[in-house]
Amino acid sequence: MVDWTEKYRPSTLSEVRGNNKARDALAEWAKTWDDHREAVVVHGSPGIGKTSAAHALAADMGWETVELNASDQRTGDVIERFAGRAAKNATLAGSSAGTSTRQLVILDEADNIHGNYDRGGASAVTRLVKSSSQPIVLIANEFYDMSRGLRNACQEIEFRDVSARSIVPVLRDICRKEGLEFESDALDRIAEMNSGDLRSAVNDLQAIAEGREKITEEDVVMGDRDRSVGLFEFLDAVLKEESAQDALYTAYDVDETPDDLTKWVEDKVSLVYEPDELARAYDFLANADRWLGRVRATQNYSYWRYATDNLAAGVAASRDRTRGGWTRYGGAPYRSTRDKTRDTVVRKIAQNGGFSMATARREALPYLSAITHHCKPRELTVAMAAYYEFDESHVSFVTGSGETTNKVQSIVEDAGELREELVEEHAAGAFAGMEGVSVDDDAAADDGGDGTDDVLDRDADTDADESAESDDSDAATDDGQSGLDDFF
């Protein structure tokens, strides 16, 4: 089975749908590049055609492309070498063809260059952008996560979410090319379910089309989604019984993250599949792994969806037939240190936050990771570590800070002190009067009771009066914190 998002990737800019203005701006940027020599940053949500547009642009202009992906080690050194190579390649290509050929440099996840890599990476990219002899397209989800220096050095083009109205014609074209009959309502439905994200709409279409000659609206409607499914039922669904689409829906109903599901499938697939099926299934599992890697690097949990598409729909579509009977799946797959750390983190969140394990794993952890990404804001990270009793490995894990760093060490130390203070104050019956923990760096010294009471005490009812009073005294800080209050 070929992945339709690859098979139908736009090969020219005119095939990039739903972002006409951005598309025209990109074409204009390329045509006038010799005059301005500026890099461009294309930014917007996942799955809306940013990377495709960059490649399509190169094809339209007759330019070659070189890519530096997030999975490459993006240290200062690597980027300098890469820049040198890009310039040289272009010269060679140009001289052998007797013309001057351009090489379009495409650098994805430009909002996450420092990710797990060294600090030199970000400034090397800024230098590259400023001095490059070749056109550069940076791709980012969040423009404002890029450093100011980098933002200022680039022209900016925003890609908007692709509306359901623009998604439908793409799906219709694919159906026609695949010789697949369809009810218009079915395509409308897929487009609405995936409004904004064209990649996941195409993935859904493919999952639903698997094994069918015609798709109806009824095929698309998900049915009863309000159930929870055990791991063995899930494995049977994917490896033996269900269509790609049903396997995908079953995967949504398991209380495990795509990381765990991928491991389970990887571990058990060979008990069921024949060699041919297995080879195909491993390709999908490798894709799932790639998406999980991107989640780890960027903390962008919307990529989880694509991992699930691959590990469930992809693996189910890799088999030639369904199977019955009972399979001895055996125990849990091998668990790495990282997995064990995650389990401890989830347990601590569940215990200290009063969540179920499933909610802690699937909702609280991603949320905490997002709001404390790379330990910023620091005060919030300290409060989190104090509240959930995290040690250094836990804080590194949650914040995506890679190896334990001095920064993490000092956060855990401060969290220890904060806990001690709280315990003392609690013992003295002065819980409501605790020192504020501020989101705003500059306001760190402020003594605003900024909602931290709620962070650290779910039953803060008795403190309501005091909280209300101090809330007034520091409304700005409270705004920053209010998401956290709601959450806890």
Ligand X SMILES: Nc1ncnc2c1ncn2[C@@H]1O[C@H](COP(=O)(O)OP(=O)(O)OP(=O)(O)O)[C@@H](O)[C@H]1O
- Annotation-wise, does 400 bind a ligand? no
107 vs 235, beta carbon nearer ligand X: 107
Q: CB of 121: closest distance to ligand X in angstroms? A: 19
Least distance CB 313 / ligand X (angstroms): 15
Return the number of the residue (74 or 199) whose C-beta is nearest ligand X.
199
Q: Which residue has the tokens 């269509």?
A: 243
Mapping DSSP onto H, E and C, the string for the chain reads: CCCHHHHCCCCCHHHCCCCHHHHHHHHHHHHCHHHHCCEEEEECCCCCCHHHHHHHHHHHHCCEEEEECCCCCCCHHHHHHHHHHHHHHHHHHHHHHCCCCCEEEEECCHHHCCCCCCCHHHHHHHHHHHHCCCCEEEEECCHHHCCHHHHHCEEEEECCCECHHHHHHHHHHHHHHHCCEECHHHHHHHHHHCCECHHHHHHHHHHHHCCCCEECHHHHCCCCCCCCECHHHHHHHHHHHCCHHHHHHHHHCECCCHHHHHHHHHHHHHHCCCHHHHHHHHHHHHHHHHHHHHHHHHCCHHHHHHHHHHHHHHHHHCCCCCCCCCCCCCCCCCCCHHHHHHHHHHHHHHHHHCCCHHHHHHHHHHHHHHHCHHHCCHHHHHHHHHHHCCCHHHHHHHHCCCCCCHHHHHHHHHHHHHHHHHHHHHHCCCHHHCCCCCCCHHHCCCCCCCCHHHHHCCCHHHHHHHHHHHHHHCHHHHHHHHHHHHHC
Could you tell me if 19 and 27 are in contact, meaning their C-beta atoms sit under 8 angstroms apart? no
Residue 196 marked in a binding site: no
Compare residues 198 and 295 and give the one whose CB is closer to ligand X: 198
Q: Is the Cβ of residue 66 or residue 383 nearer to ligand X in the bound state?
A: 66
410 labelled ligand-binding: no
Q: Tell me if 139 is assigned to a ligand binding site.
A: no
User: Strand pairing partners for 107?
Assistant: 68, 138
Known binder of ligand: residue 65? Answer: no
User: Which residue(s) pair with 41 in the sheet?
Assistant: 138, 156
Indicate the length of the chain as a whole number.
Answer: 488
Beta carbon of residue 393, minimum distance to ligand X (angstroms, whole number) = 29
270 labeled part of a ligand binding site: no
Is 50 assigned to a binding site?
A: yes
The CB-of-4 to ligand X minimum distance in angstroms stands at: 7
Residues that bind ligand X (CB under 6 A): 5, 8-10, 16-19, 46-52, 141, 162, 170, 198-199, 202
Nearest distance in Å: CB 448, ligand X: 38
Supply the minimum distance, in Å, between the C-beta of residue 17 and ligand X. Answer: 4
Q: How far is the CB of 378 from ligand X (least distance, A)?
A: 29
CB of 74 to ligand X, least distance (A): 16
Task: State how far the Cα of 205 lies from the Cα of 174, in Å rounded to an integer.
Answer: 9
Residue 156 or 241 with smaller CB distance to ligand X? 156
HSE-CB at 247 with a 13 A cutoff on CA atoms is 30
Q: Which is nearer to ligand X, 5 or 381 (CB)?
A: 5
Residue 49 marked in a binding site: yes
> CB 8 → ligand X: shortest distance, Å?
5
Residue positions forming the annotated binding site for ATP:
44-51
Residue positions forming the annotated binding site:
44-51
